[in-house]
Amino acid sequence: ELKVEQNPLFLSMQEGKNYTIYCNYSTTSDRLYWYRQDPGKSLESLFVLLSNGAVKQEGRLMASLDTKARLSTLHITAAVHDLSATYFCAVDRGDNTDKLIFGTGTRLQVFP
């Protein structure tokens, strides 16, 4: 069964702290995506990771991909309240269908 698991599911962190969200997957894909969703809103693309060892950074967020371990991480540096949202990773199924499997999501809350 193709699965994408994120942990933690919920994360409450203080402003200024660092933390990492993990995304484990079981497909053989080399393509992984991170999205952000604010409450009641749609999904916003954050990162596209297309190969083993890929690392991308935008502001306080950095994403990496290890295809051998089938693991991606989303690292948060010096969190601020505006980062509060739900973060999803999604993985290509690896069967040339261009369909994605989404993770369970990590709900992040940053408090002062």
Partner 1 sequence: EADIYQTPRYLVIGTGKKITLECSQTMGHDKMYWYQQDPGMELHLIHYSYGVNSTEKGDLSSESTVSRIRTEHFPLTLESARPSHTSQYLCASSENPSWEQYFGPGTRLTVT
> Which stretch, 19-27, 43-51, 56-64, 75-83, contacts partner 1 (CB under 8 A)?
43-51
| Beta strands, E only, the chain | 4-7, 10-14, 19-25, 32-37, 43-49, 55-58, 61-66, 71-76, 85-92, 100-102, 106-111
55 binds partner 1 (CB under 8 A): no
8 Å CB contact between 30 and 52: yes
Number of residues that bind partner 1 (CB under 8 A): 24
If the CB atoms of residues 15 and 95 are measured against partner 1, the closer one turns out to be 95
104 binds partner 1 (CB under 8 A): yes
Place of tokens 């709900």: 107
86 binds partner 1 (CB under 8 A): yes
In whole angstroms, the minimum distance from the beta carbon of 3 to partner 1 comes to: 11
CA distance 27 to 11: 26
Q: Which residues bind partner 1 (CB under 8 A)?
A: 31, 33, 35, 40-45, 48, 50, 86, 88, 90, 92, 98-105, 107
